[in-house]
Structure 1
Amino acid sequence: MMTFYLDRLLMIIDQSPSYSPLTKKAYRADVRHFCTHAETIDIPSLHRYITLLKQTYAPTTVARRIHALATLFDALVAERALVKNPLAHIKKPSRPLPKHRTAFSYTDARRVIETLQDDTVYAFYFLLLHTGLRFTEARQLHLMDLDLIERQLFVRHGKGQKTRYLPLHDELITVLTRYLDQQTNTDYLFVNNTGRLLDPNQTRKQLRLASQQVLNRTLRPHDLRVTFATTLYREHHADLLTVMRLLGHSDAKTTQQYILPSSEVARSSINRLTPTMHQ
């Protein structure tokens, strides 16, 4: 029985046009784990499985897996492979509150990026800081996605396969133009010296080492996305809907998690103060 459900669930995942490659990978792992440890899809089996998850994984992982299964079980019901979704009658684990994000000012983020020696990596992170793009979105950009005449960028690999257009900052256009003058590739926007896409681990490592040297803190690519959103909203008074659309969110509640509260920004600024020696 579980072999049948496993096959159906994997097919649903593979055929869904709304799931990104990373989401599909996670969902495949989720259903394989469930089908290995559950006897069938009913309320008693789900109760036992949720107990197992709580004993093994962090609350965030438990909530994500259960919410994923609930979505997939709905698809089974829709195609009549399942009479009803048992998770509709089980209280699902609540998602833990998001952790407080570390505040990095635009100035501090810019200082770190300006120390990067690799021209491609510099242009890559300059783009992230001025567009709020996700790391994967920026890494998969094609040259044809960049329109310097209309001063905009087409994001074709958004989360959930959503596309969007982004306006380009004046200085960002200058940086990208200078970068492209040195490139000979004709496909992807950002490639290494061998013509391949940037290595994710090495690219992240360069930002991490630079930030530890400059700020004595670790600046991650996703922090640039938070800095972009917070700076637009707090300092340049962009409305929430505009920030939401630029980030590619479909829910304003998600966007609000990216805009750091004023108290958090202030606390982060205070924490960067260092004592001085008085003569």
Structure 2
Amino acid sequence: MSYADENGGVTAVKAPRLLDQVRARLRLRHYSLRTEQAYIGWIRRFILANGKRHPRDMGAAEVEAFLTALATDGKVAPGTQNQALSSLLFLYREVLGVDLPWMETMVRAKRPRRVPVVLSRDEVVRLLARLDGQYALMASLLYGAGMRLMEAIRLRVKDVDFARNEICVRDGKGGKDRRVPLPQKIHEPLRQQVERVKVIHREDLDAGFGAVWLPHALARKYPSAPRELGWQYVFPAAQRSRDPRDGEERRHHVDESSLQRAVKAARHRAGIVKPATCHTLRHSFATHLLEAGQDIRTIQELLGHKDVATTQIYTHVLNRGGMGAVSPLDR
């Protein structure tokens, strides 16, 4: 690639590397950083698996072989295999602009329909009792409000409404907003957490920092917003760090893996043998609401499900035995 400079000469410009093109396209389409990292990783693996050949020189045979190897040799889950396929679809369609008929015939791996792991009320109490500080508060939000892991981690101060006893979940799965209940039991701990955020934010401002990352170019539209208290994360990281998107030093939210490790350790200390994770608390929220007689449409709204069929999976784990039937042994 080249262009004419102001003196009439020709200056060569190095074309961006393929992965940089992918990264730029993902950001143009407003994909999340986590999705960007996952897609870049799969595309890199695909190229390396084929001797560093350029994707333009490959086609259906190489893609099918790569996906087959993931399933047979790597023994990955269907969801992981589908993510790899989505990454390659994005590469060919959005970055390379290649319209390949064989892409339409690619069959996605069928994901098995599994009943979610759900904790009993007693198990939830035992689990939460083994957590301390902000980990106990975050886990209480997952169970008490039915929030997803990253929804709780990314919660901003402005989205907690103590007066109305509700939390506004912004940009949830599918880019949707919704409102969920704020449990009375965690009002005071959450207020104390917000006060702690105020102190940390004031110290960052005094040090010449205090700006937080904002989505969708809001920082350009509202230049003062990144330094406002309302936009700060309710659960900030202990240290400031460099943002991988633009290199700016900011205070990000706490890393989600720290809560995942804390919940796993608490599960062991509580003597719970079920393979419970952070998402199990969300499953338990929905199931316990159903057990209490809450209608399924309301639960669908609280969970942010697009289709009520997704919510109906919880009807299969109600505390009534298999399919609600009474075992003949108990008769």
Give TM-score scaled by structure 2 length: 0.65
* Structure 1, unaligned runs of 5 or more: 268-279
Amino acid corresponding to residue 144 of structure 2 in structure 1: H
Aligned equivalents of 2:239 and 2:43: distance in 1?
38
Bigger radius of gyration, 1 or 2?
Answer: 2
Inter-CA distance 231–216: structure 2 relative to 1 (3 Å threshold): closer
* Structure 2, unaligned runs of 5 or more: 1-15, 202-231, 241-250, 323-331
Aligned equivalents of 2:99 and 2:35: distance in 1?
26
Name whichever structure is richer in helix by fraction: 1
- Of the three residues 18, 26, 34, the one matched with 2:38 is 26
Please give the residue correspondences for 1:109-120 in structure 2 after superposition, counting only pairs within 5 Å: 109-116=124-131, 118-120=132-134
Contact 1:9–1:31 (CA<8 Å) still a contact in 2?
A: no
Contact 2:236–2:254 (CA<8 Å) still a contact in 1?
A: yes
Amino acid corresponding to residue 82 of structure 1 in structure 2: V
Q: Report the alpha carbon displacement of residue 181 of structure 1 after superposing the two structures with TM.
A: 5.7
Amino acid corresponding to residue 111 of structure 1 in structure 2: R
Inter-CA distance 10–261: structure 2 relative to 1 (3 Å threshold): same
- Of the three residues 230, 235, 244, the one matched with 2:287 is 230
Q: Report the alpha carbon displacement of residue 180 of structure 1 after superposing the two structures with TM.
A: 4.3
Amino acid corresponding to residue 23 of structure 1 in structure 2: T
Inter-CA distance 107–265: structure 2 relative to 1 (3 Å threshold): farther
Amino acid corresponding to residue 108 of structure 1 in structure 2: E
Q: Report the alpha carbon displacement of residue 199 of structure 1 after superposing the two structures with TM.
A: 4.3
Root mean square deviation, CA, Å: 3.2
- Of the three residues 286, 300, 310, the one matched with 1:244 is 300
Q: Report the alpha carbon displacement of residue 148 of structure 1 after superposing the two structures with TM.
A: 1.1
Residues 141-185 of structure 1 show CA distances to partners (whole Å, capped at 9, x for unaligned) of: 121221112322122352344333223233343442355466634
Aligned equivalents of 1:264 and 1:25: distance in 2?
40
- Of the three residues 25, 40, 47, the one matched with 1:12 is 25
Q: Report the alpha carbon displacement of residue 227 of structure 1 after superposing the two structures with TM.
A: 0.5
Aligned equivalents of 1:220 and 1:251: distance in 2?
24
Amino acid corresponding to residue 214 of structure 1 in structure 2: A
Equivalent position of 2:98 in the other structure: 82
SS in structure 2 opposite 1:261?
helix
Which is further off, 54-63 or 178-187?
178-187
Equivalent position of 1:277 in the other structure: none
Aligned equivalents of 1:5 and 1:194: distance in 2?
33
Runs of 4+ in 1 over 6 A off after TM superposition: 192-196
